[in-house]
Each structure stands twice: as C-alpha cells, then as structure tokens.
Structure 1
C-alpha cells in the first residue's frame, strides 16, 4: 500500500480556487456558486453555508450566506405546547394508489388536456393539491412500490412542489418517531442509546416543523437521510415504543431554545465543529473527542478506491471541460478531519474545493476524514475514519457510551455541549 502520506495545507488568505487561468477560476466559482443555490432549494442548508462561506465575496455569496444563516437562529422551545402533527414527504409520484377494504383510490400526475403544466389528476379533475383520507389497514402504493398498510388513520396530502408531485403523510410526531428510530439505529441497542436517539430526533423534527411552517413549505421533512430516515412502521417493537414513550415531549435546548440536533453514524473518534465547516458558530455543535473506544464498531475505519474518473467528472462539472488530476492535498483540523481539498492537475494548476459537505457528497466518500495512502492508474487508495458529516451526536458513539453505563441525558449533554434536556409537552 506504500508509506502513509499526510499532506496538510495552511492558507493565510481567504479560501479561494487557485489557478493561473482566470477563466478557469471564474468557471469553477460560478458552478460552485450555482451548486450552493441548488443546495438552498433542496434544503441542504449546511452545504449551502459551506459553499457561500468558501466563496467569500464572490457575487452575492455573502448575502446568501446571511439569509441561510437565519435558518439556524434560535427557536424558543416553549412555542410547542402540545404534540404537533408532522408532514412527511415520502415520495415523488407519477401514480399513487390507496387500496382500502371497500375501494381503491387512484391518483396520477400528468398533463391536463388543455394545460401547459402537469397537474394532479384524480377521477375527472385536475388539482394543485389533493388530500386523501387514509384509513388504518389501507395499503399505499406509489409508482408501483408498496409502502405497506397504514397502521393508523392518516391524511395524505398530494401537492405540486418544484415541478414534481409529492405524497405527504400527516402524522402525530410521537408516532412518526417510532418510524424514525428503527430506520436510523438498531432496535437491539441499549435502551439509553435508543432514548438518546429519540430525543435528538424529536428535537430535530420540531426545529424543521417550525422552519417549514414559517417558510410556507408544503412539508416539514422528507423520509430520507436528507432529514432523518423514516419508514411507515408495520410493527412497532417494544423497545422502540419504550424509548419514544418514556422521553415523550423531551427536547434538547441551548439557553431555552431548540437546537439543530444533527447526528451521524460514526465520528471515527472526533466530531466536527459547525463553525469550522460553515463559519457560523453554533456552540452546541462544537468539536468533541470521543470518550469511548470505537475501534471495533461499524464504520470506525474504512478503505475505499476513489476513481480518478469520478473526481475528473466533478471537476468537469465545475470547469466546463475535462481536467486531468494527478494528486490531492487536504487541509485538516487539529484532530485530522478534512476541511478543504486541493486537486493537483496535470498542467500544474491547483483547484481547491470545500470538502466536508460538497466534495464528500459529490465523490461519495464515507466521511471527510481520510488519507490518500496510494495511487494506481485509475484510483486513489483512501484510508478513512467515520461515516457521515461528523456533526453532533455519533450514533455508534452513543451506543458505545450506553454500553459503559451512561444514561441518555449524559450522552446528549456530552455530544451537544452546554445543553439541557427539557420536557415541553
């Protein structure tokens, strides 16, 4: 595999793309800027902050940064006085069927006879929004895929959003959490780790509910890891019910406000700092060194072959032409996590990009904590630590701490510094 090479870059000037070709620099910045705008549309606010912070004074990056920053402003925990309903976007659909014992309702998304825009087609009419009354036991099928039978009565909103039709389930928040936990962690884990996940997921959901209603969005979260994973529970396991029920209404607060309770699979030994990635200081999302030995846990360490072709495709999407890459250098924080990556090109040019969100997602790398330990003709050989963005609670770290006897409140206060656990309903 060759000798381990650790390359660290230190920049004394604002983060920019370095290139002798000004036209190349401008193209890269422009397409990176457009990616930041795309992130805003898809609610990837951390990715947007990272890019606009990285671009500095380019175009209106600072204006967009400040407007995105407001998403993370404090939300008083007491605004929620009772359990709310959460609106979960579960899928984009072309055809949707709700099959109940008495009848089946079919809905389509298509072009109306005299319309220029696609609309939701139901029976003989076309709609911008439609609500189906789903009864317990009805089976939901979307685009030919069964989502199982509804375990409770559920309203299903069918709405147009950004050119697509989406199906949105309206669920009691505590029931929703019982579909989140088994999708995010292992139900067999220690009950204290499950409780920690329940409180973090509840806090995260409430934060997004408030912001979505404030912005007039037709849904609060979706069912993917863009927010937090969710599946309609066909059977609720006793330990999942216990973790949710025994923490009912409990949230994580910082100075009386809900936190943006981010979590990830495995930190690899050290969590990330929100400020290091985005420039925005959220004290409760500061860097934390694990108190537990994670070495035998899933995703603590990993190896990956990163295709040079994939990296060159990322570059081509930014530069508008193919560029040959020869090497990579990484700027790191003090515990080793990556912040920015510099790609060295065959013609001697260097292009620096934000790593923690943008490049990690584009290159499909498990985390930003990795080293290039070798090169072949077609691949960079990577050795890394952790899985996910590294912000907030490490799920495998929480599991490890629970095995050592920590309770859920101790776990949460460890990962979210300076916080309290409050019961708000």
Structure 2
C-alpha cells in the first residue's frame, strides 16, 4: 500500500485511537450492506491499525473479475426486497393470503402479484418471479427469484428516466447486467442467500413499468451483453452525475482497477440536474457525529480542510475543532455520514452555524455517469461508445 497518504494524515490524527477503532468497526457494517468500496477506503486509510492490511487484502479479492464465459445462459437472480417485517400479504387474481415469517416458505403464484409488508410498503412482482421467505441474521427476509433480463427491466425503471434517449437505456442495461452478474457470482461463491437488494446498496429495482416499450427494447436489444476486461466481468459501477469528471478508484481505495480511472466528460453538463449544487452543512450535525459516533470530546467545529485528487474531487477531510483536528476518509465515509451529494465540493463560507458548500455532481463518481451518458447520447453517441468511454479498456461481449 502507498505510504505517502499515511504520512500526510498521521499528524492530524489527534484523536487517533478512538477514531481508528470506530472506523475499523464500520468496515463490518459496510461489508454487510455490500459497500465494498467504503470498506476498502477505510482499510486503506487505517494502514497498519490492527489487522487492517490483512483485511484489506481479503476485501480487495472481491474485485477480482469473474470469468465472463461462466454464464452460458440467462440465470435467475435473487433480489432481497424486504427484511425485518412481521407479516407479508400476497394478493393476486385468486385472492389474498397473509404469511407470518416463522418458517421458510417459497411462493410461486404463476401470475402477477402484489406483496405488502406489515400493511405499509408494497411491491408488484411479475408471474415469472418466485418469492422466498426465511430468517437470516436474526430477521425475516423476503427474496424474489426472477430471470435476470426481467430484473434488468426493473433496474432501468429504478435507475434512469424513461424519457431519455434509447442509447442511454441500452448503456444502463449493459452496465446493470454486468454489475448484477458480478455480484451474483460473488454471492454464490460466499454462500449468501441473496445476490443483490433492490436499493442503492446495489442498483435500484422498481416494477412500476416493466412493460414500458423503451425499457423492453433496451433490454432485448442488448440481451446477454456484458462489459469485460481481459476476459473477466468488470465491476460496472455507475452513479447519477459526475459533475463533469469521474472519480479514480485507486485514489480512493489504493487498489488499481484499470477500467475505473478518472475521465473528463467533453459535454455541456452545466444545465443538467446535480451538475452544480449548494448545501448548508450544520456544524451541529458534524459535532453530533464526532461526539456520538466517533466519541470525541469537542464542543465547537472551527474549520474544514480537504485533500483532493483527480479533477479536484475530495479524498480526505480534516475537521478542526476546539479540541484538536481529526482527518477522515471523505469520498465514501464522510460523504455518506453527512449526507453530502458528492465528494467534489468546496467550503465557500459560513452562514450562522453552518458551513456553506458549493459542489458538483451526485453520487460516488465512479464509472458511468447517468446524466453524462444522457449528455453524450444527445451528441449522437451510441451505447457502445458511451460505455467504452466510461470504462476504459473494456470490451462489450455477448455471453448468452
């Protein structure tokens, strides 16, 4: 692992022992959510703390590409759609039935059906989807099993605007298919009872418009197509808006992934959603985080300094308080904890008891920018050109 960053940050770790331990414990929480990048970012930051280097190597193995030729036909994918519920009610043409998640159950209505959890949240599933109910990690879980290509329709509904150009939807379909197969392979290898969930922890899955003509066409016209690098499936990350320049995976985590480097979008992003934003970050929120989560004894937040990488995106943030300074990983950890739209921001002033932030983009910034793809498609780029722009050195291959 590179030592330059560690040399730069160690002098700032006035509160190091407690902070390092909290960060170390956060790794397990991130791994349970499938946030391998956040876990790797923290372990890279921790350096020699405890067995961080050993754990870093284990987490880094997750990003080893699965051989693309393993998938000869369309698989079923297991999508976690709920957990921690008390009752599950299924409604279809034949009536309604309520299940209590006491014993393992598999439901196969063979027609479209609606599921409600505790009479609150609900999801509609197609006739091709089976539903498994079981207990895992001390809670009831509901996992849908459905054909991958059907699942991808739900990802398009959840991840992009259907009014966008078809080439954007096709690019999203190929990236989402690759990402899903990558996670499916890793989950089966680890004997997990699910492959992905339906949230931004993986990729958003919604079933409100599975039969929308543009969705169907985008999935069917790219059926079986994936992104590969040297014969393996890539980890095809994507996000909402890069702000004009994507992030570099190696700068964030210390691990080199050739197809996840920083690229500048030669496109007019200025008018697109989330290209520019302003946000007030209350000092009280930062203080509560430092005291409540990190256990630091401070009463005042005085300033923030940011160490930057490619394009000016933030990598590390140093918080200056009345009790000293603490440096934290910014790209994933601090951004998520503080609910900041992206790591690419500047402190442009103070307003009352808040820092005023001006930033660019939304999301982690790695891989394909969805709004960037929209901009490029409007310039006449097809989906293959868009994908090969964002995932440098990758190849598009039809595997089934």
Scaled to the shorter chain, the TM-score interval is over 0.9
* 2:99 corresponding residue in structure 1: 107
Out of 145, 156, 160, the residue aligned to residue 181 of structure 1 is 156
Q: CA RMSD in A?
A: 1.5
Answer yes or no: is 1:41 the counterpart of 2:32.
Answer: yes
Report if the CA contact (8 A) 1:312-1:322 is conserved: yes
Report SS of the residue matched to 1:134: coil
Out of 247, 252, 270, the residue aligned to residue 272 of structure 1 is 247
1:304-359: CA deviations, max 9, x gaps?
00011111122111125444211000000141100000000123x11000000000
Out of 112, 120, 129, the residue aligned to residue 154 of structure 1 is 129
The change in CA–CA distance for 1:379 and 1:248 in structure 2 (over 3 A counts) is same
Report if the CA contact (8 A) 2:247-2:365 is conserved: yes
How far the C-alpha of 1:18 sits from its partner, in A, is 2.1
* Alignment partners' CA distance in 1, 2:309 and 2:67: 32
Report if the CA contact (8 A) 2:92-2:114 is conserved: yes
Report if the CA contact (8 A) 1:14-1:56 is conserved: no
TM (normalized to structure 1)?
0.90
1:376-401: CA deviations, max 9, x gaps?
33100000000000000000000111
* 2:301 corresponding residue in structure 1: 325
* 2:7 corresponding residue in structure 1: 13
How far the C-alpha of 1:266 sits from its partner, in A, is 0.4
Report SS of the residue matched to 2:178: helix
How far the C-alpha of 1:231 sits from its partner, in A, is 1.1
1:260-313: CA deviations, max 9, x gaps?
000000000110000000000000000101111100000000000001111112
1:134-166: CA deviations, max 9, x gaps?
331332111213535433232101122222211
Report if the CA contact (8 A) 2:342-2:364 is conserved: yes
How far the C-alpha of 1:95 sits from its partner, in A, is 1.0
1:399-423: CA deviations, max 9, x gaps?
1111001110000000000000000
Report SS of the residue matched to 2:259: helix
The 5 A counterparts of 1:181-200 are 181-200=156-175
The 5 A counterparts of 1:52-71 are 52-71=43-62
1:183-204: CA deviations, max 9, x gaps?
1010111111110000000000
* Alignment partners' CA distance in 2, 1:16 and 1:152: 56
1:61-120: CA deviations, max 9, x gaps?
111111100100021100000000000001112210112333433222xxxxxxxxxxx3
Answer yes or no: is 1:341 the counterpart of 2:333.
Answer: no
The 5 A counterparts of 1:191-210 are 191-210=166-185
**Stretch of structure 1 that moved more, 369-378 or 404-413:** 369-378
* Alignment partners' CA distance in 1, 2:108 and 2:245: 46
Out of 90, 95, 104, the residue aligned to residue 98 of structure 1 is 90
Answer yes or no: is 1:212 the counterpart of 2:200.
Answer: no
**Stretch of structure 1 that moved more, 247-256 or 305-314:** 305-314
* Alignment partners' CA distance in 1, 2:109 and 2:208: 15
TM (normalized to structure 2)?
0.95
Out of 63, 79, 83, the residue aligned to residue 74 of structure 2 is 83
Report if the CA contact (8 A) 2:314-2:331 is conserved: yes
> Structure 2: where are the runs of 5+ without partners?
none
The 5 A counterparts of 1:16-415 are 16=10, 18-20=12-14, 24-92=15-83, 93-108=85-100, 120-121=101-102, 127=103, 129-145=104-120, 147-316=122-291, 317-347=293-323, 349-415=324-390
The change in CA–CA distance for 1:42 and 1:17 in structure 2 (over 3 A counts) is farther
